[in-house]
Amino acid sequence: MARIQIDLPDATAQAARDAGLLTPDALSRLLNEALRRRQAADALLSIADRVAAANISPMSMEEINAEVKAERAEMRKRASGH
């Protein structure tokens, strides 16, 4: 297990302590969530780069909404056993 020391402004440290965020478990959860978000953002940017390289034209908001509705309908259909 690694030990990490950080310098924070006093007010930030006190607010974090009061909120229970300076415990090892809380800090681990916060860091893991930040890492997950960073990985998701990297994956999206990677996809965006591939889409741009493939010269795929952007979808309109109406097209996106139609795709989302169709996928949700398909998910409901599978969930109901049909």
pLDDT digits (tens, 9 = 90+) for 11-56: 999 999 999 999 999 999 999 999 999 999 999 998 888 888 898 8
Query: Which residues make Cβ contacts (< 8 Å) with residue 13, sequence separation at least 6?
Result: 22
Contact call for residues 59 and 67 (beta carbons, < 8 A): yes
Is 14 domain-assigned? yes
Residue 1 has pLDDT above 90, yes or no: no
Question: pLDDT at position 52, please?
Answer: 84
pLDDT beyond 80 at 82: no
> Is this structure's pTM higher than 0.75?
no
Say which residue the tokens 């999206």 belong to.
44
Whether 41 contacts 49, CB under 8 Å = no
Q: Are 13 and 22 in contact (CB under 8 A)?
A: yes
Asked whether residue 18 is assigned to any structural domain, the reply reads yes
The total domain count for the chain is 1
Is residue 3, in this structure, part of any structural domain at all?
A: no
The pLDDT value given to residue 35: 98
Q: Is 42 within 8 Å of 49 (Cβ atoms)?
A: no
Q: What's residue 30's pLDDT?
A: 97
